[in-house]
Structure formats: structure tokens, C-alpha cells
Structure 1
Amino acid sequence: MVCRSNHKLAAKFRKAAAQLPNLVRAVFMVWEATRGWTLAWGLLVVLQGLLPVANVWLLKVLVDGLAAAVGSGQPAPRFRSLLLVIVAMAAVTLVADALRSLTIWIRTAQSGLFQDHLKHLIQQKSMELDLAFYESAEFFDRLYRAQFEAGYRPMILLENLGSLAQNGITLVAMAAVLLQFGPWLPLILIVSTLPAFCVVLRQNLREHELWLRTTVDERKSRYYDWVMTSRETAAELRVFELGSHFSALFRTLREALRRDRLALTRNRALADLGARIVGLLITGAAMAWMVWRVLLGAITLGDLALFYQAFNQGKQMMGGLLENVGQIYSNSLFLENLFEFFRLEPGIREPERPVSAPAPLREGIRFRHVAFRYPASEKWALGDFSLTVPAGKMVALVGPNGAGKSTVIKLLCRLYDPEAGQVELDGVDLRSIPLRELQDNITILFQEPVKYSAMVHENIGYGELGKMKDSAAVEVAARRAGADGFIERFPDRYDTLLGKWFEGGIDLSAGEWQRIALARAFLRQSPILILDEPTSSMDSWAEADWLGRLRGLAQGRTAILITHRFTTAMRADMIHVMENGGIVESGTHEELLRQGGRYAESWRRQMRNLDRDSTPEP
């Protein structure tokens, strides 16, 4: 049993020692972000550590002076010197209060600067990582932990270090005072606080283990809360009466989380009470010994007051010191999650020997025997896939959902790299082209464009940041996309705020948002154009207008068009029919109809549906 306890204790200390690199890194991050404020804070820590000793010593002088004055029978002559001691004690207290207020101000400035700095680092790391990370629930667990801890853990850790330093300075000074009464008294201080330290260390480890265990449930509860309060879900929840269902899920999760937290808090309170009782018994024994020495005449009443204050404050400092160590250990455990997130590395690497992207394209885009699976998936999204998109031509990819069409454009944008084969521009492997240069050569209009809560000119300008302030270019792009009609009706035209995130914003229909995204594509004059279901959110009138603009958008570019609508696909120079990660048919619209295969069959079905939908009801 003793051996097992020793092993557990050794394991805890090994785990604590393993957190030292995280501790050092966290302090360095704080220093990097708030150097001047950190220096000022460190100076205040030292001053506040020394002030309690001054007050304890002044109390001894006051008590001994009072005893001498009473014993002499002439207290009046000594009153002036005692009054000076009282004034000095008041001055020390006032300085301590002023330093505490100054520390709060400095800590507020320091905390704000560092939190913004750390959030910036998390945002940068999130944007640096590949799209593959966003397909993993484990990544979102890590991101949640990093974001949740970023707001306060490092600053709490710094505060713990400051308290540790301040309590340490005070403790050393108090120990020096106690040594005159006996060399064993500082040891008594340590022994009286060890039980409390063990409780803190053990409970902080359990708290961290609980937090890790409940991360998924915490994220689920936040998701249910979002579902019940989000604008995006409000209509459907009411129509399908789902509110009570999600409310029940939320309450069940929160009840379980509260139960676990209360159990942990109860156990800690009981253990803490036991540790305090042990410490109190040791303190009482030491105090009784000192009172006995006063009765024997070995020490004065001032010495007793000095001992009581020094021992009591020393015990508090020692308890605070060990608690600071426990909190530092606990916060270091939590910081491990933050630094674990920072250690994530993107799988998409920059080339060691970069080659410039071909400009302009002369041959085109080529997929050579490409094979690809999404992370954690056994199914091949593309298998031995080959495709050529001639320079200056428009190629359409059609096929059912899951055929691999969107995977093609993700590989072309190097959001992923293939497991086998290669993707080329004029024979140059994409992996040889610097990533930023490659993506600068591509314009993509996604099926679900981002609805930025920003002004109209900003929404369009995000297509090419360098042109955002060029109002003429922005307006030309809007006109070419057919968005100028509804923009002109807005109260502030291109300075109108879009979206409902902020007051005064105007929401758009799905088709209007699509046209704003299309204007972004017109603004960005890159040589490669990718359109992913560009008319999916448009009605038939808007689609007919948009198709008339398609050739203008693609003119002079190498374009890939992904669509389910054959009325859109037929505008392309070449159509490829995809199924199960491969191409099963290729040709122009007329050639594919003559082949009588999958494309022709689907075309006829779409045409019948269109005829039926357009037939007026009797």
C-alpha cells in the first residue's frame, strides 16, 4: 500500500515537472505582448511582498513601547514616540492599499493586451491549418479548448506567479523574524500547510481530468443553445415544434455537467476542511508554547505579538504559496491544451524549390491519375481520376451528389493534396507552386457563398482587397453580375450594411447573395475560374439572366463549371459526366445527347420535369 502511494505521488510530481516547458512558454508569451506593463507589475509584486513585514515589526515596537510606558508609570512622555509608530503603521497600510489599486489598473491593461494578442495567435493558427482539420471533430474539440482557455488561463497563470513571488518574499522575511524564537519554527510552518498543498494538487488534477472528459458535452450544450437561439434555425424550430426537444437535450446535458462539478466541489471542500483542522492544531500548539514562555519571563509581550503576527502571516503566506504552486500546476495542465493546438501543423506544405505559376496558361489544367480520400474515410472520393481542361476553355462537370465534383475543385485550389497522381498547370505540379501564388490565380464562386455582415462595397471588394476602395471597379463588377439593380434601391447604395448581425443591416434573398458573390468573381480577374453550382439559389428568371452573363465572366479564362442543371452545363465547351469518383462520359451537349447514355437520360428527365412545372394548373 505504501509503495503504491509512493508511486502515485512520484507520478504526480513527474506530471507536474512535465508542465514546466508550458509554464516557461506562457510567461514568454505574456512578456512578448506586454513587456512594459509586466516590468511595472513585477516591481509592485516585490514592494507588496515586503510591506507586511514592516507592519509586523512596527506592531512589536508599539506593543513593547506600550508595555514600557505602562511599567514606568509615566506614559505621557512616551506618547509622542508611540504616536509616530502608529502614524508609520497607517502610512504602510495606505501605501499597501495604493499599490493594490495601482496593481489592478496595471493588470487590467496587461490582461487586455495579452488576450487580444493570444486571440490573434489562435486566429492565425486556425487560418494556417488545412481544410482537412475542419473535417475532424477532434480538431473542433482542440479549438474549443484553446478558445475557451485563451481568454484567461495565461493571465491567471501570470497572476499565480506574481502571488507566488509576493508570498515567497513575505515568507522569507517572516521566517527570518521567527528564527530568533527557535530554528524549528519555520519548519512548523511548512508542516502545518503540507496537507492543504496535497489537497490542492490532487483536486486540481481531478478538475483537469473532469474538464477533458466533459469537453464534448460542453460543446454539445453550446450547440443546443445555438440551435434554440439562432436566427438561422428560428423558423424551422417553430414550424416543426423542435424547441422543447432541444431544450430537453440541453437541460439533460447541463444537469449531468452540474452534478459532476458539484461532486468535485464537495470532495474538495471536505478534504480542505480536514487539512485546515490539522494546520490549526499545529498552530495552536506553537502559540501555547510561546504563551508559556511569556509567563516564564523568557520573552516580552511585544515578542509574543511579533511571533503571533509573523507566524500567522507566515502560515497564511505558506498556505498561499503552496496553493499558488497548485494553481500554477493546474493552469499549466490547461495550457497544455492551448499549446497542443499551437503545435498542429498543416499538411499542405510550401514547396522547397518553388516554381512560378504559368501565366498566362497555354496548355491548361490536367489531373493525372489522381486518387484521393478525405481524412478518416475509407471511401475513395476520386480513384485513378484523369481530366484535361484546355486553356481558355470552359469545362462542365455534372453528376449526382457524391460523384467527386467538388473534390476536383478542392484539389485544384490545393485545399487538399492527392494521395496519388498529380494536378498540373501547363505541366507544372501544383505542389511546386507557392500556395499563395497558386490561389491568387484562381477565382472561385462557391455553392454557398459567405454572407459577410459588411457594407455592399466591402462584400464585393473581398474578391480583390486591392480594389475594395476603387468604387468604379466595384460598381462595374456589380453591373456585370446583375447586382446593380437591387443595390441602387438600397438607401445608401454601396455603403449599405448587409446582413442582420448588426443594427441597420439589410438581409438579401439567396439569389441576391449569389449575385453579390458573383460580383466578387467579376472583380477578381484571375486566369482560372471555378463555379460551383452558381445558379442553385436562383429562380428561373434570374438564372436565365445569369446564363447570359456567364460567357462574359469566363471570357479569356480557363473555367470549370460544376452544376446539376444541364441548361447551365450546355453552355460549356466540353461536358464531363462524373460518377463514383471517375468520368463515365465526355463530349459537347449535342454529342452526349447523341450517345444516348447517362447524360441524355438525365437531360430528358430534367426537360420533362421543367415541362410539367411550367404547365399551368386547370
Structure 2
Amino acid sequence: MNSQGLDILKRKFRSANTIINHLIQTLSLVWAASGYWTLASMVMLLVQGILPAISLTFTRQVVDNLVVVAGNGLSVANVQKILIPVALMAGIMLLGEFFNSSGEWIRTAQSELVNDHITALIHNQSVAVDYGFYEYSEYNDKLNRAREGASGRSLALLESIGSLLKNSVTLLAMATILIPYGLWLPTILIISAFPAFYILMYLSKIQYQWSQRTTTDRRWLMYYDYLLTNSSTAAEVRLFDFANHFQSAYQILRRRLVKEQFHLLKLQTLGRFIAAIIALIITGGALAWMGRQVLLGILTLGDLALFFQVFNQGQGIVKELLSNIGKIYRNSLFIGNLFEFLQIQPTIVDPENPVAVPTKPQKEIRFRQVTFRYPGATEAVLENFNLTIPAGKIVAIVGDNGAGKSTLIKLLCRFYDPDSGRIELDGIDLRNFAVKEFRRLITVLFQSPIPYYTTAGENIALGDITALSNQVEIESAAKASGIHEKIMRLPLGYNTMLGKLFPDGTDLSGGQWQRLALARAFFRRAQIIILDEPTSAMDPWAEYDWLERFRTLAEGRTAVVITHRFTLAMQADIIHVMRAGRIVESGNHDELLALGGLYAQSWKAQMESSSSQKVKNGIA
């Protein structure tokens, strides 16, 4: 055999091995989700597999008895010869119906349990994977493939396995019936279904490859749909008349995908038609041979009736059995996406022997010679970066966009680890702490806070879900952020549902949502406060009102404030100016103004702009 032939064999072996592994993993998953229901399903399928063969044997008995008693009158003996096998056939049919009804009940229970189990696995893994998982297209493709019908694929795979078991039992029983007429008959029965099986396997592989290739395209469809239907995009779509543009993009992509799907369907239909013709020719030949045997008196009419039903049903069962194998193959390919996603290992993990996290920073947070580049990027965002944040102080970090300020937050929260260098808390590398325990030390207000659609009180209490909801503390946090008075004016106060996504919800302005997020951050009572542009959505009056309380709020805690607003930065004990991933100036507000450097120039420009705006407003 040449090297090309060996390569083909190796690929087929790996493919078969992968399918077997996915099959074992799926069975383990289903058993973990619905053990007893799975056992009940297997027992039911075994019984269902035997019943058709038993029913066919009674069919032969009925036909042969009819031939014997035909024309002999309606004597009790003659009637009994017909009624007894007919009654037994009716009993078998009733038993089959009972198992069919029970099967629906079992499958529904099993379906719900498996669906819940897989959803929980995906949710858990979605939280466990690194934050960076969501920042890259290929990772999002993996998540989308895992979520795309994972529960349905698992249940379809389970059902195909169950059907395979049932059909195997039925086929074995029918083959046993056919063997006395000739060993070659069961062989022909199986061979007649192979063309359809081959076509199914071939098309399943093409369908899977198409699905993998178009994952990103289908995510684009979801994105266009989001832009056209989501409340957060509704204003811009209408104002800038984007609707036709995005609808057109959606429809062009959709038409291409539908065209490709119809091409696959055309191949499938043609293949099945050719397979059906081959099966019909083989069946016709077998029936012609059986008719000859009856005409020669070698077999009875009961034998012919039995053979016709066995061969007809058997051929259907073989097709279904091979179809089950094809479905197992196809679903195992797709379910492999789920297992691939579940096998992703996070890199931000706890050390083997975690160091106890300090209850409060005593000395400082320090970046020592930190170099960091985002995965897949060639250029470092930070290189040999050094920064000291004294414990109990307010530290402001200012700088232009792209300077690396937000990257500092991600590193400090351990969403990423440095490529080299260390980030220390009181001299201890952050990588020596348990991740969750360390993060409990931190509260963060991100630049674009999430509007949680729940009550105002619950929104704030989300800041620390491990703490008992204390209305006094909730209101204290709301007052600290300046949102308390607004909440008290809502229809139900702190029990008012926020947002317009659900009935009876009340929406807030951008600045009010930001204040609510600030209240959530303060409710956590963490010792390290990180605020990323905390007043960006506030008007000058609201910002001034909040600044009046800021130092009181941060007293005794370590605060890191990322901001473009110098009115906020000047409240800090220490101000660091960042540019191109480096600290270029440091000091307090007065020191930096006296230095006359980048900070002083930016302060002057911002103040002049503010004064000019006030004059314009006064004239207006």
C-alpha cells in the first residue's frame, strides 16, 4: 500500500476513534443528567425491538390456519384456530402502544434533564474560561458552536443510539425468521440498504463541514438581527437611517447561506433516489424468488405472507438502522463542538498552595517591570512598566486613549497575567492568591456599566451577593453615589423594576445608570476601589455634587481612578500621567501644574474650553 493509502486509512481511523470518544462522552453526560430515566429507556427499547418479530410469527400462523380452515365451516375449533393468534397479535399491538406512550413520557423527562444539565455545563464553562476568551473571534465561534443545539444534538444522539439498539434487536429477530428460507436472504436484506447508508454518511460529513465553515457567517446574521431589533441601537438606526443598509447586508448573506443549503438538499435528494432504485431492484429479485418457491409448492402462502412482511419491514429496519449509524456519526461531529468548548482550560487559575489574601492592603500595590501584550498581538501594550499605588491613597491615572489605562485595570483584576514582571500586593505576587478570594478585595466601576433589569434595591445589592440584603446599607450606598433621591421619586421606590425590557419597568438616564452602578460598587465595601471614568455620563452639576462626597467615600481605602476629567483627577493624592504604555509624569495636582509639563498643558486646555463653554451658555 502506498503512503497516500496509508494516510487515508490513518484519517479514517482517527475519525472513527473521535466518534467513539464523543459517543462515550455523550453517554456519560446523558447518564450523569438522567441515569434512571436512561435505564428505563434502554429496557423499553429492548422490549420494543422484540415485539415486531413476535407479531410477524403470529401473522404466519393466522394465514396458514386460514388456509387450513377455509371452507370447513364456522365450528368452534375452526374459529379458535383463527381467534387465538389474532388475539395474541392484538395483545402485542396493545403492548406496543403502551410502550410508545411510555416512551414519549420517558423521552420528555430525559430531554428536560439533559437540556438543563448541558445548559449548566455551558454556563459554568462560560464563567470559568479566561476573560480573554470573549475578546477573540475564534473563541466566540467555539462558544457559538457549543451552544448551537448542544442539548438537541445530545438528545438526538441519545435517541439514535436507542433506536439503533431497538432496531438491532428487531433485525436480529427477523434475521432468525429468514435464515430457515436461506442464509443469503438476511445478507441481501442488509446489502440492499448500504447505498443509502453510504450516501447518508457522505452527506453528513459535507453538512458538518459546511456548518463549521459558516459559523462566523451565521454570527454575522445574529449581529445584523441584533442591530435591527435591540433597544440600545434603535436610536442610531433610525436617526442615521441604517435600517436598509443592515437589512440588505442580512438578506445578501442569508440568501447565500440558503442557496448553499438548497445545494446540499439537492445532493441529498438525488442520492436517496438512486439508493431507493437499487434497493427496489434487490427487493424485486428476492420477492420473485419467493414467488417461484410458492408456485413450486415448496413454501406455503403463510410463508409468502411472512416473508413479504419480514423482508419489507426488515429492509426498512436496516435502512433505519444504518440511518441511525449515520445520525450518530453526524451528531457526534456536532456534539464534538460542545466537548471541545468544555475542554478549554483557563490560564488564570489558583496556585497549588494559595497565600491568604490580606483583609486590607497595608503597604502598596506595585507593578514591577511588567510587560504585557494581548494574545495574538505582536506589539506590547506595556513594556517594563513600573507603578506604585500606596495603600489608603487615591491615585488618579490620566492619559490619552490607547495609553494603556484600561489594560492596567484588567491586569489588576487578574483578567490577564503579565507576560513578564510581577504585580504585587504588599510584596506578594497576585498569582500566589486564590483568584476569587483576591477579587473579593476589589470593587470596580467599568467605563460602560451594565444596566441590570431588576429592582433598584436589588441592583445595588448585586454589589455583594454574599451579603445579606440590608436596606440601611443599600440606601447608604445610594446616597453616597447620589442616586437615592431619584430612586425615592420612582413609583415604588427601591422596589421599582428598572429598564424597559420587562413589564412595568422604569428607565433611567445614562448618568443615573452610572450613579446606580457607583452605588453597587460602594455597597461591596471592598478595600480596593477601581473607577474607570466614573463621571463620564454625568453633567457638570451632578459631577460636582458627587465630587463633594468622593474623598469621604474613599477614606481608608485604596482607590484607583481612571479619568479624562481633571476636576476629578485633582481630588487624588497622586496623579500619574500615562502615554504610550509608560508613566511620563507623577505628583499631586499642584506639583504637576508647577512642573508645566503634559498635565499642566492639558489642564489649561480643558479649563479654557470649559470657560469658553460657560460664556457661550451665558450669552445664549
TM-score with structure 2 length normalisation? 0.97
Task: After TM superposition, give the deviation of residue 186 of structure 1 in Å.
Answer: 1.0
Distance 2:560 2:108 in 1: 53
Residue in structure 2 matched with residue 240 of structure 1 by the alignment? 240
Residue in structure 1 matched with residue 160 of structure 2 by the alignment? 160
Distance 2:10 2:481 in 1: 69
Q: Secondary structure at the match of 1:503?
A: coil
Task: After TM superposition, give the deviation of residue 486 of structure 1 in Å.
Answer: 0.8
Percentage of matched positions with identical amino acids: 47
Distance 2:7 2:309 in 1: 39
Deviates more, 1:175-184 or 1:91-100: 91-100
Deviates more, 1:575-584 or 1:379-388: 379-388
Letter in structure 1 aligned against 2:122 = I
Task: After TM superposition, give the deviation of residue 363 of structure 1 in Å.
Answer: 1.0
Distance 1:312 1:7 in 2: 40
Task: After TM superposition, give the deviation of residue 177 of structure 1 in Å.
Answer: 0.3
Q: Secondary structure at the match of 1:117?
A: helix
Q: Secondary structure at the match of 1:383?
A: strand
Deviation by residue 1:413-443 (Cα, 9 ceiling, x = unmatched) = 1111001110001100000111111101111
Gaps of 5+ in 2: none
Tell me if the contact between 2:395 and 2:574 (Cα under 8 Å) persists in the aligned partners.
yes
Distance 1:3 1:602 in 2: 69
Question: 1:60-79, aligned counterparts within 5 Å?
Answer: 60-70=60-70, 72=72, 77-79=77-79
Tell me if the contact between 1:498 and 1:507 (Cα under 8 Å) persists in the aligned partners.
yes
Deviation by residue 1:509-537 (Cα, 9 ceiling, x = unmatched) = 11111111111122111111111100001
Letter in structure 1 aligned against 2:220 = K
Distance 1:465 1:341 in 2: 28
Distance 1:67 1:13 in 2: 55
Letter in structure 1 aligned against 2:38 = T
Deviates more, 1:457-466 or 1:392-401: 457-466
Residue in structure 1 matched with residue 131 of structure 2 by the alignment? 131
Deviates more, 1:8-17 or 1:61-70: 8-17
Letter in structure 2 aligned against 1:451 = P
Residue in structure 1 matched with residue 57 of structure 2 by the alignment? 57
Letter in structure 1 aligned against 2:382 = L
Distance 1:361 1:533 in 2: 23
Distance 1:194 1:29 in 2: 31
Deviation by residue 1:318-363 (Cα, 9 ceiling, x = unmatched) = 1111110111011111111111111111111211231112233221
Residue in structure 2 matched with residue 571 of structure 1 by the alignment? 571
Task: After TM superposition, give the deviation of residue 592 of structure 1 in Å.
Answer: 0.5
Letter in structure 2 aligned against 1:589 = H
Distance 1:265 1:500 in 2: 42
Deviation by residue 1:238-289 (Cα, 9 ceiling, x = unmatched) = 1111101111100111111011110011011111111111111111111111
Deviation by residue 1:283-322 (Cα, 9 ceiling, x = unmatched) = 1111111111011111111111111111111111111111
Question: 1:211-222, aligned counterparts within 5 Å?
Answer: 211-222=211-222
* Alpha-carbon spacing, 1:6–1:184, altered in 2? closer, same or farther (3 Å): farther
Task: After TM superposition, give the deviation of residue 12 of structure 1 in Å.
Answer: 4.2
Give the one of 612, 616, 619 matched to 1:617.
Answer: 619
Tell me if the contact between 1:396 and 1:575 (Cα under 8 Å) persists in the aligned partners.
yes
Distance 2:271 2:606 in 1: 73
Tell me if the contact between 2:592 and 2:600 (Cα under 8 Å) persists in the aligned partners.
yes
Distance 1:220 1:584 in 2: 42
Task: After TM superposition, give the deviation of residue 72 of structure 1 in Å.
Answer: 4.5
Tell me if the contact between 1:462 and 1:468 (Cα under 8 Å) persists in the aligned partners.
no
Task: After TM superposition, give the deviation of residue 91 of structure 1 in Å.
Answer: 2.3
Residue in structure 1 matched with residue 42 of structure 2 by the alignment? 42
Task: After TM superposition, give the deviation of residue 119 of structure 1 in Å.
Answer: 0.8
Task: After TM superposition, give the deviation of residue 17 of structure 1 in Å.
Answer: 3.2
Deviation by residue 1:571-613 (Cα, 9 ceiling, x = unmatched) = 0001000000010001110010011110000001100111111
Residue in structure 2 matched with residue 527 of structure 1 by the alignment? 527
Distance 2:260 2:103 in 1: 36
* Alpha-carbon spacing, 1:139–1:10, altered in 2? closer, same or farther (3 Å): closer
Tell me if the contact between 1:133 and 1:139 (Cα under 8 Å) persists in the aligned partners.
yes
Residue in structure 1 matched with residue 404 of structure 2 by the alignment? 404
Tell me if the contact between 1:447 and 1:532 (Cα under 8 Å) persists in the aligned partners.
yes
Task: After TM superposition, give the deviation of residue 365 of structure 1 in Å.
Answer: 0.6
Q: Secondary structure at the match of 1:322?
A: helix
Letter in structure 1 aligned against 2:563 = T
Task: After TM superposition, give the deviation of residue 71 of structure 1 in Å.
Answer: 5.9
Tell me if the contact between 2:33 and 2:117 (Cα under 8 Å) persists in the aligned partners.
yes
Residue in structure 2 matched with residue 275 of structure 1 by the alignment? 275
Question: 1:229-308, aligned counterparts within 5 Å?
Answer: 229-308=229-308
* Alpha-carbon spacing, 1:3–1:598, altered in 2? closer, same or farther (3 Å): closer
Residue in structure 2 matched with residue 83 of structure 1 by the alignment? 83
Deviation by residue 1:68-127 (Cα, 9 ceiling, x = unmatched) = 011646676412331232222222222212211211111111111111110111111010
Letter in structure 2 aligned against 1:138 = E
Distance 2:165 2:425 in 1: 61
Tell me if the contact between 1:370 and 1:384 (Cα under 8 Å) persists in the aligned partners.
yes
Distance 1:495 1:99 in 2: 51
Residue in structure 2 matched with residue 170 of structure 1 by the alignment? 170
Letter in structure 2 aligned against 1:617 = I
Tell me if the contact between 1:53 and 1:170 (Cα under 8 Å) persists in the aligned partners.
yes
Deviates more, 1:10-19 or 1:166-175: 10-19
Tell me if the contact between 1:467 and 1:473 (Cα under 8 Å) persists in the aligned partners.
no
Distance 2:499 2:571 in 1: 33
Letter in structure 2 aligned against 1:100 = N
Gaps of 5+ in 1: none
Task: After TM superposition, give the deviation of residue 138 of structure 1 in Å.
Answer: 0.3
Distance 2:219 2:490 in 1: 39
Letter in structure 2 aligned against 1:476 = S
Letter in structure 2 aligned against 1:263 = H
Question: 1:4-23, aligned counterparts within 5 Å?
Answer: 11-12=11-12, 14-23=14-23
Deviation by residue 1:441-484 (Cα, 9 ceiling, x = unmatched) = 11111111111111112111111113352222212211222211
Tell me if the contact between 1:149 and 1:338 (Cα under 8 Å) persists in the aligned partners.
no
Question: Is 2:505 aligned against 1:502?
Answer: no
Distance 1:384 1:3 in 2: 51
Tell me if the contact between 1:122 and 1:147 (Cα under 8 Å) persists in the aligned partners.
yes
Residue in structure 2 matched with residue 477 of structure 1 by the alignment? 477
Residue in structure 1 matched with residue 384 of structure 2 by the alignment? 384
Task: After TM superposition, give the deviation of residue 35 of structure 1 in Å.
Answer: 1.0
Question: 1:176-191, aligned counterparts within 5 Å?
Answer: 176-191=176-191
Tell me if the contact between 1:442 and 1:528 (Cα under 8 Å) persists in the aligned partners.
yes
Letter in structure 2 aligned against 1:93 = M
Tell me if the contact between 1:457 and 1:468 (Cα under 8 Å) persists in the aligned partners.
no
Letter in structure 1 aligned against 2:143 = L
Tell me if the contact between 2:57 and 2:306 (Cα under 8 Å) persists in the aligned partners.
yes
* Alpha-carbon spacing, 1:204–1:523, altered in 2? closer, same or farther (3 Å): same
Tell me if the contact between 1:530 and 1:560 (Cα under 8 Å) persists in the aligned partners.
yes
Task: After TM superposition, give the deviation of residue 149 of structure 1 in Å.
Answer: 2.8
Distance 2:579 2:564 in 1: 13
Distance 1:300 1:164 in 2: 33
TM-score with structure 1 length normalisation? 0.97
Letter in structure 2 aligned against 1:482 = G
Task: After TM superposition, give the deviation of residue 151 of structure 1 in Å.
Answer: 3.0
Letter in structure 2 aligned against 1:577 = V
Q: Secondary structure at the match of 2:192?
A: helix
Tell me if the contact between 2:349 and 2:434 (Cα under 8 Å) persists in the aligned partners.
no
Q: Secondary structure at the match of 1:151?
A: helix
Task: After TM superposition, give the deviation of residue 221 of structure 1 in Å.
Answer: 0.9
Q: Secondary structure at the match of 2:125?
A: helix
Task: After TM superposition, give the deviation of residue 145 of structure 1 in Å.
Answer: 0.4
Q: Give the root-mean-square deviation of aligned CA atoms.
A: 1.8
Task: After TM superposition, give the deviation of residue 2 of structure 1 in Å.
Answer: 13
Residue in structure 2 matched with residue 442 of structure 1 by the alignment? 442
Letter in structure 1 aligned against 2:162 = G
Distance 1:2 1:503 in 2: 69
Deviation by residue 1:161-205 (Cα, 9 ceiling, x = unmatched) = 000000000000000000111111111111111111111111100
Letter in structure 2 aligned against 1:283 = T
Tell me if the contact between 1:468 and 1:474 (Cα under 8 Å) persists in the aligned partners.
no
